[in-house]
Chain A
């Protein structure tokens, strides 16, 4: 099934008077159970592409469908519903709420998702190996740990697709690998579709497909053998 499909999609940003075209004529389809790695030089538009594909930002031109429905047909509420149920996010800066404990951060997403079973929180904390730190505040644990919590949080509503923007960008090799292993596990064992933006080609070994952006254009789109 095609989760995301876009044709001749553009994204412009207004910088003062100048309108800069960041994404140019993107043709792309993302299917269920893919693990897409988006690479490219800094400033090539990777983050922008991720935000547009996930519906956080609107494309400036071309077409984009999410879950088979054109983006224009989604209302604000529909989009938040999507984020709540079908899409998860992980960012480079972990984006935890600083005055809530690890568990409360999980709880926040859980409440917003209106989930029934609270045991999912424990399961996920277990999964990312953070159970014993559940009562710590974010500034009391390391960056790698925070990112693991962020991944766990993104999974709380069992999304179909996970968007991750350089989740390892702030981590050392060891912690980076741990996160990637976690993502791989999610992909393989739980069948999640993952769209990952990464700087480093090393991590492409985890992906099933590589899209390379240069200056806002797709210059490479290849299936990787796992």
Chain B
């Protein structure tokens, strides 16, 4: 049973770790795609677009061969009122009914002018029912609509949203009739979704649509990036977990080994052929694996799908044949190898030796490994001889080997020390001896240590993600920025401060989604900056709370040389140094502008760059400022007011906090999933520890029986056990703590292997707490062991010996 469970869990954990990438990518795909149902791509404007209204006619004329439907909507946020409620904001969808039918894949019937559909959640939130009247504020006047039907939330038409006829709405908005082809977004269902790239390529060449963005609903590149970034966080943890699985598997074999060595010993003394016993052995493993492998695969599948369910994904997540095959191969390789190696060692021994009690074996060679790994670690740290990720990997390997050996070594030392003590105690005699030489106690110690490391590492990564997303949010103090301003931003500021109570404002240059080439040689290495920002550095503090390398702010005040600063992580990923050149595409007027790296921003958010464009004399007269950054006091009317007022002028209001809030929702969802993954691993290891304590129990129960016969009372026995468990836990916790101190700071650099980077902060206190928490889990798991030993019936034991 112990062996079966361990084999199962090993399989599950291996698949979980190896299949993480695959699982994440499906989950992100569904998360992005599922709300869109049949829609494969959208065509709409962004902050760089010069118009917000597009005409569908060209699409119908030239591209209809590609799609099943192209539903042209005019959507916007609007103030809505009902009953006595003065108003609230909701998403207004407008189009033809057939468009909505396509969008949410539902038959709807007729919707006349003056009628609207509302979502179930909207109706529930504001107490609306069919035939109620709802006021829509259109062009400064109230238009009453009658609720025709309440539709269950489905696809994009979900949350607080209403749907009305587009032609009627546009007539009210623009006083023009028959505008059925106009809209601000087109949802397209392609006949062949694989053609999304082709179609968006064609559209970007088409003069009618080149100013708009045609993007697949679930962009494979975006998915790949999020997946990579998410998985990168787990590289370290995953690697350690896999090592742990090996250690655990390795610790389980002695159990089988014990039975088999006697069996083979008997067969041998009887003159039997050992090939026969090998085949028995292999068959037994095969039989067990036949149960353990499918169960393991199923458990891994269940974890992924449970995770998907948490994220609200209904589709089934597949494990992927390749992942399962590789995991299976790894499993067979290890289990098969282990069986063969142990078997070979067995058959070399004489038959009689095999029937001896072999639980005890002195551990030798620990000194050398301890010394060598320690020296290698120090040398590696001092020389930093390789690239950053390789350095990190080597430090982690040497460090963990060192801590592992130290664990063994400490056990020996403490054991030896206790048994040399003059004043003998039961623990000094019995427990210490086990610490010193019992193989199962030693392997138990190793399992305990690696389990603590895995559990604590999971806790660390999880809390890091949580803290990190908070920091990202807190680093931006500004609330909104109003961009795409074609007039003088200073004049806009004056208008705003005349009407609203604003805490701070600053005119600035902000471009979004611009491309940078960060390569220092011929081959370009492009990366998109989500925010390219330039504002007077002395006013930085009011809007951003970033920490910069020293000297950066001075350079951002320079009026001659173009300087740029990127996040530390981007610097590491692309190997940038201060003084390197970065070529930025700043729109049509400045397609190839070269900036010098001024230093780095200490943030884990890689989407933001700052430059001194605002200050450059060469651009002083070009009217580059296109944005007002705003920090709101607490004027609730500011945002709706700004939207209402400036949307008409095609300015674009970006709500930082909302942007981050959305991002946070995403992060929290991902985190829930990661937690699930982490908890599965933790639970897996708790079971492993319990399993292991069973092994320990089997190994030691005979000795405990002797103690009982000698008259050791139940309390005395409990005390003895408690001390044993405690000493194992303390040694394991101490070494784990050391290992964690080595591992955690290197997790960040290790991510560079996946071209990703985050600074994962390490501090002794929280590492200590997490080690303690994990050690607590360990002691808890050993409670089972205590229980078993205390209930042990000495007679059964004594009789068999």
Does A74 count as interface, using CB distance less than 8 angstroms? no
CB-defined contacts of B267 to chain A, threshold 8 Å: none
Interface of A is mostly: helix
Does B336 count as interface, using CB distance less than 8 angstroms? no
Residue-wise interface mask of A (86-118) relative to B, using a CB-CB cutoff of 8 A (1 in contact, 0 not): 010101010111111000100111011100000
CB-defined contacts of A80 to chain B, threshold 8 Å: 708, 711-714, 716
**A187 to B: closest C-beta gap in Å:** 22
Does B438 count as interface, using CB distance less than 8 angstroms? yes
A57: contacting residue among B703, B711, B716, B795, CB under 8 A? B795
- The answer to whether A111 touches B426 (Cβ under 8 A) is yes
Interface-located stretch among B82-90, B354-362, B581-589, B734-742: B354-362
Does B709 count as interface, using CB distance less than 8 angstroms? yes
A77 touching B715 in the complex, CB below 8 Å, given contacts A97-B706, A108-B430: yes
Residue-wise interface mask of B (250-263) relative to A, using a CB-CB cutoff of 8 A (1 in contact, 0 not): 00000000000000
**A146 to B: closest C-beta gap in Å:** 12
CB-defined contacts of A98 to chain B, threshold 8 Å: 357, 359-360
- The answer to whether A99 touches B438 (Cβ under 8 A) is yes
* Distance A217 CA – B438 CA, assembled complex (angstroms): 44
CB-defined contacts of B359 to chain A, threshold 8 Å: 98-99
A95 touching B714 in the complex, CB below 8 Å, given contacts A100-B429, A100-B430, A111-B429: no
Who on chain A is nearest to B713 by CB? A80
Determine which residue in B429, B438, B715 has the highest number of CB atoms from chain A within 10 A of its CB, and name it: B429
* Distance A81 CA – B801 CA, assembled complex (angstroms): 24
Does A76 count as interface, using CB distance less than 8 angstroms? yes
CB-defined contacts of A46 to chain B, threshold 8 Å: none
Residue-wise interface mask of A (29-59) relative to B, using a CB-CB cutoff of 8 A (1 in contact, 0 not): 0000000000000000001000100001100
Who on chain B is nearest to A97 by CB? B703
**B354 to A: closest C-beta gap in Å:** 14
- The answer to whether A112 touches B712 (Cβ under 8 A) is yes
CB-defined contacts of B356 to chain A, threshold 8 Å: 139
A104 touching B429 in the complex, CB below 8 Å, given contacts A80-B713, A99-B437: yes
- The answer to whether A84 touches B437 (Cβ under 8 A) is no
- The answer to whether B357 touches A56 (Cβ under 8 A) is no
* Distance A115 CA – B718 CA, assembled complex (angstroms): 20
**A45 to B: closest C-beta gap in Å:** 13
Does A82 count as interface, using CB distance less than 8 angstroms? yes
CB-defined contacts of A91 to chain B, threshold 8 Å: 798
* Distance A201 CA – B703 CA, assembled complex (angstroms): 33
* Distance A108 CA – B710 CA, assembled complex (angstroms): 9
Who on chain B is nearest to A57 by CB? B795
- The answer to whether B715 touches A108 (Cβ under 8 A) is no
Does A85 count as interface, using CB distance less than 8 angstroms? yes
**B583 to A: closest C-beta gap in Å:** 71
- The answer to whether A107 touches B711 (Cβ under 8 A) is no
Does B794 count as interface, using CB distance less than 8 angstroms? yes
Determine which residue in B429, B708, B711, B713 has the highest number of CB atoms from chain A within 10 A of its CB, and name it: B711
Does A83 count as interface, using CB distance less than 8 angstroms? yes
CB-defined contacts of B2 to chain A, threshold 8 Å: none
Determine which residue in A57, A107, A112 has the highest number of CB atoms from chain B within 10 A of its CB, and name it: A112
* Distance A109 CA – B711 CA, assembled complex (angstroms): 8
Q: Number of contact residues on B: which range applies? A: 20 to 34
Who on chain B is nearest to A96 by CB? B706
Determine which residue in A89, A93, A97 has the highest number of CB atoms from chain B within 10 A of its CB, and name it: A97
Determine which residue in A57, A87, A99 has the highest number of CB atoms from chain B within 10 A of its CB, and name it: A99
A56: contacting residue among B430, B434, B437, B794, CB under 8 A? B794
- The answer to whether A109 touches B710 (Cβ under 8 A) is yes
- The answer to whether B713 touches A77 (Cβ under 8 A) is yes
* Distance A91 CA – B434 CA, assembled complex (angstroms): 24
* Distance A98 CA – B703 CA, assembled complex (angstroms): 9
Who on chain B is nearest to A56 by CB? B795
- The answer to whether A108 touches B429 (Cβ under 8 A) is yes
* Distance A96 CA – B429 CA, assembled complex (angstroms): 14
- The answer to whether B424 touches A107 (Cβ under 8 A) is yes
Who on chain A is nearest to B358 by CB? A98
Does B539 count as interface, using CB distance less than 8 angstroms? no
- The answer to whether B795 touches A51 (Cβ under 8 A) is yes
A82 touching B801 in the complex, CB below 8 Å, given contacts A97-B703, A98-B360, A99-B437: no
B709: contacting residue among A85, A89, A157, CB under 8 A? A89
- The answer to whether A83 touches B709 (Cβ under 8 A) is yes
**B17 to A: closest C-beta gap in Å:** 38
Does B425 count as interface, using CB distance less than 8 angstroms? yes
A83: contacting residue among B430, B434, B703, B711, CB under 8 A? B711
- The answer to whether B433 touches A99 (Cβ under 8 A) is yes
- The answer to whether A76 touches B795 (Cβ under 8 A) is no
Residue-wise interface mask of B (676-713) relative to A, using a CB-CB cutoff of 8 A (1 in contact, 0 not): 00000000000000000000000000010011111111
Who on chain A is nearest to B712 by CB? A112
Who on chain B is nearest to A78 by CB? B713
Residue-wise interface mask of B (352-384) relative to A, using a CB-CB cutoff of 8 A (1 in contact, 0 not): 000011011000000000000000000000000
Who on chain B is nearest to A84 by CB? B711
* Distance A87 CA – B711 CA, assembled complex (angstroms): 9
* Distance A51 CA – B797 CA, assembled complex (angstroms): 13
Who on chain A is nearest to B720 by CB? A112
CB-defined contacts of A113 to chain B, threshold 8 Å: 710-711
Who on chain B is nearest to A80 by CB? B713
Residue-wise interface mask of B (288-301) relative to A, using a CB-CB cutoff of 8 A (1 in contact, 0 not): 00000000000000
- The answer to whether B706 touches A95 (Cβ under 8 A) is yes
- The answer to whether A76 touches B714 (Cβ under 8 A) is yes
A81: contacting residue among B429, B711, B799, CB under 8 A? B711
- The answer to whether B360 touches A108 (Cβ under 8 A) is no
CB-defined contacts of A107 to chain B, threshold 8 Å: 424, 429
* Distance A98 CA – B434 CA, assembled complex (angstroms): 11
**A103 to B: closest C-beta gap in Å:** 10
* Distance A104 CA – B437 CA, assembled complex (angstroms): 15
CB-defined contacts of B357 to chain A, threshold 8 Å: 98, 139
**B419 to A: closest C-beta gap in Å:** 8
CB-defined contacts of B430 to chain A, threshold 8 Å: 97, 100, 108
B149-189 with Cβ < 8 A to chain A: none
- The answer to whether B801 touches A95 (Cβ under 8 A) is yes
Determine which residue in B426, B434, B437 has the highest number of CB atoms from chain A within 10 A of its CB, and name it: B426
* Distance A97 CA – B360 CA, assembled complex (angstroms): 11
- The answer to whether A85 touches B711 (Cβ under 8 A) is yes
**B697 to A: closest C-beta gap in Å:** 16
**B787 to A: closest C-beta gap in Å:** 15
Residue-wise interface mask of B (233-250) relative to A, using a CB-CB cutoff of 8 A (1 in contact, 0 not): 000000000000000000
**A153 to B: closest C-beta gap in Å:** 8
CB-defined contacts of A112 to chain B, threshold 8 Å: 426, 707, 710-712, 716
CB-defined contacts of B703 to chain A, threshold 8 Å: 97
- The answer to whether B795 touches A81 (Cβ under 8 A) is no
**A226 to B: closest C-beta gap in Å:** 30
* Distance A125 CA – B370 CA, assembled complex (angstroms): 41
Who on chain B is nearest to A154 by CB? B710
**B549 to A: closest C-beta gap in Å:** 60
CB-defined contacts of A51 to chain B, threshold 8 Å: 795
* Distance A104 CA – B415 CA, assembled complex (angstroms): 14
* Distance A107 CA – B430 CA, assembled complex (angstroms): 10
Residue-wise interface mask of A (143-180) relative to B, using a CB-CB cutoff of 8 A (1 in contact, 0 not): 00000000001000100000000000000000000000
List 6 additional contacts besides A56-B795, A108-B710; criterion CB under 8 Å.
A77-B713, A81-B711, A91-B798, A108-B430, A113-B711, A157-B711
Return the 5 tightest CB-CB contacts between A and B, nearest first: A84-B711, A83-B711, A80-B713, A99-B360, A77-B713
Q: List 7 A-B contacts (CB under 8 A).
A: A80-B713, A84-B712, A95-B706, A107-B424, A112-B710, A112-B711, A139-B356
Residues on B close to A: CB < 8 A? 356-357, 359-360, 419, 424-426, 429-430, 433-434, 437-438, 703, 706-716, 794-795, 798-799, 801
